[in-house]
Amino acid sequence: MNKTVVNSWNEWDPLRHVIVGRADNCHIPPEEPALDAKVPEDSDMRGQWGKRPQETIDRANELLDTFAAQLQARGIRVDRPVPIDHSQPVTTPDFHTGSQFGCMPPRDVLLTVGPEILEATMSYRCRWFEYLNYRPLLQRYWEEDPNFRHEAAPKPRLTDADYHPDYLSEKIGVEKRLKWAEEKHFVTTEEEPLFDAADVLRFGRDLVVQHGFTTNLKGIEWLRRHFPDHRVHAVNFPGDPYPIHIDATFTPLRPGLILNNPQRRLPKDQRGMFEKNGWEIVDAAQPAHNAPPPLCYSSVWLSMNVLVLDPKTVCVEKSEVYQAEQMDKLGMEVVEVELRDAYAFGGGLHCCTADVYREGGCEDYFP
């Protein structure tokens, strides 16, 4: 067979093939350094772990199935992962943790760049084996597409040397967290390269990568060496006390237009490439909710975690009315998708998907 199955260079070209996660058997993992640093101090998740309540798993799966069917009805091929048993512990020669996380969200694990899907190192111990949920799909793409490059970044050791101990105290306080974020002092050290795929945004020849809790500078350097034909840019969003995953902070909608979280604005000295090339960075609308749903790791800013279907069409969560209104004003057709009851499983519409194929090639948007 000689067909191209895997091809996606950016976040907005017409989407033709995507992976949508599953909530089956998802767990709240036991305490571990990088995960604890991300759980907000007032969160209902502190001190809890174990399998998520079955009724929440069923509800999340119902929503994910409906989302998958909505995409299929628009002619998009949708594949689903094959869940491994997330109740199993993770034991390596270097660490042990009591359970895994789940096969949500795929965006955290898989980074698609052109004909390549790269499995990220990951930075949480409970997510060390998460790539196995996607291996049946990646093997199939490998059989179907002779040009598909299946790559895996070096598995990290994730010993205690990977984490700063001052982040492990019970009460740090938001003020100190913000100061640390400003100083680029994050929970992960520079012991070895670490990155989660959801810290990376693809803009054709340019990759924009958030340096924070889940991606360190060595992880960004690893990406730079791995993609020698790309320009790789490290960015920070100092207003975020829990900086993981870029996709509720900075959301490109089409060439020339990006939404930015107004509480986590890109600093002036990091805006050069966008300004020089006439890109507009606009504040995202306020979220419709004051708090995340129960047992959720993410912030209310999942409102801006949208999935762009093409430069004129975007999926927005159904209850996020202000975000939908803003999209409309920006000239986008809005596809409403109900997903809020699945947020607790690891995120919103962008998180719960991973690109396989978008039309188009590798453009240089920042010449």
Which active-site residues does the annotation give? 196, 245, 351
For residues 304-343, which are near ligand NVA according to CB under 6 A?
A: 305
**108 in Cβ contact with 196 (< 8 Å):** yes
DSSP 154: P
Whole-number Å distance between alpha carbons of 168 and 161: 13
Considering only CA atoms, which of 151, 136, 165 is closest in space to residue 195? 151
Site membership for ligand NVA, residue 347 (CB under 6 A) = yes
Please name the residue that has the structure tokens 């740090």. 172
Instruction: Single out the residue of 6, 64, 351, 356 in contact with ligand NVA (rule: CB under 6 A).
Output: 351
Q: Which amino acid is at 106?
A: P
Considering only CA atoms, which of 284, 260, 281, 297 is closest in space to residue 102? 297
Listed as own residue / partner, the contacts of 88-92 with beta carbons closer than 8 Å and 24 or more positions apart are 90/125, 90/126, 90/128, 90/129, 92/128, 92/157, 92/158
- The interface mask with ligand NVA, positions 245-274, x = CB under 6 A, is x-xx--------------------------
For residues 228-247, which are near ligand NVA according to CB under 6 A?
A: 244-245, 247
CA 13: distance to chain centroid?
18
Instruction: Single out the residue of 260, 299, 326, 353 in contact with ligand NVA (rule: CB under 6 A).
Output: 299
Residues that bind ligand NVA (rule: CB under 6 A) add up to a total of 10
Identity of the residue, 90 or 246, whose beta carbon is nearer to ligand NVA in the bound complex? 246
Site membership for ligand NVA, residue 298 (CB under 6 A) = yes
Instruction: Single out the residue of 301, 343, 345, 357 in contact with ligand NVA (rule: CB under 6 A).
Output: 301
Q: Which amino acid is at 121?
A: T
Identity of the residue, 219 or 347, whose beta carbon is nearer to ligand NVA in the bound complex? 347
Interface stretch with ligand NVA, choices 71-79, 120-128, 293-301, 325-333 (CB under 6 A)? 293-301
Residue 277 CB, nearest distance to ligand NVA (Å)?
26
DSSP 332: P
Which residues sit at the interface with ligand NVA, rule CB under 6 A?
244-245, 247-248, 298-299, 301, 305, 347, 351
